Structure 1
Amino acid sequence: MERTLAQAAALLGMTRPKLIALMREKDLLKGNLPAYPKRDKAHLRVKNTSWFHGTHGMQYSESTRVTQSGIRWLAEQLGIDLPAIPADRRDVA
């Protein structure tokens, strides 16, 4: 499962602008895209999207997505403590 930067920020307990600022400080983002897409491809990826606009023709955009394994990796890179995953009490006999 891939998440947007806004969704990843919510999981990390911050806002999207704060996450982007921290990622830029740590040289993980250049603009809003991964600074090193080949190095970090297991954790961050670029999603390409296109659509047709009636007046301006084909429009293209790119956005950063965070993979499932990228959430924990991102927390480690940024020095953020992830909240503990609550224990599942359904298995208690």
Structure 2
Amino acid sequence: MERTLAQAAAQLGLSRPKLIALMREKGLLNDRNLPAYPHRDREYLRVRDGQWYHDQLGMQYSQSTRVKQAGIGWLAQQLAIDLPAIPANNRDVA
């Protein structure tokens, strides 16, 4: 499962701007909020390419960073963040 930076920030207990600031400070994101080292960090982060058609401007293209499932723990480690506790799943209790 992949998450947007906003979703990843919520899971880490941060706001999106705070997560981006911390990732830039550590050199994980470039000035366009894309992975600074996409090949090195490919197990944790990826670039999502998007496109849409605009009536007046034609095809529009965008790129955004996605955080992979393994990237949540990796980001917490890289940014020295304590992950919030995972709530216990009591549904399996007999």
Counting only pairs closer than 5 Å after superposition, residues 47-86 of structure 1 correspond to structure 2 as 47-86=48-87
Partner of 1:4: 4
If the length of structure 2 is used for normalisation, what is the TM-score?
Answer: 0.93
> How many angstroms apart in 2 are the aligned matches of 1:57 and 1:92?
56
* Aligned-residue identity in percent: 72
1:92 Cα deviation from its structure 2 partner? 4.1
> How many angstroms apart in 2 are the aligned matches of 1:90 and 1:21?
38
The answer for unaligned runs of 5 or more in structure 1 is none
If the length of structure 1 is used for normalisation, what is the TM-score?
Answer: 0.94
Partner of 2:38: 37
> How many angstroms apart in 2 are the aligned matches of 1:49 and 1:29?
19
What is the number of equivalent residue pairs in this alignment? 93
> What's the Cα RMSD here?
1.1
Provide Cα deviations, 1:51-85, integer angstroms capped at 9, x if missing partner.
11111111000000000110010000000000122
User: 2:48 is matched by which residue type in structure 1?
Assistant: K
Three-state SS of the structure 2 residue aligned to 1:61 is strand
The answer for unaligned runs of 5 or more in structure 2 is none
> How many angstroms apart in 2 are the aligned matches of 1:27 and 1:21?
10
> How many angstroms apart in 2 are the aligned matches of 1:90 and 1:54?
50
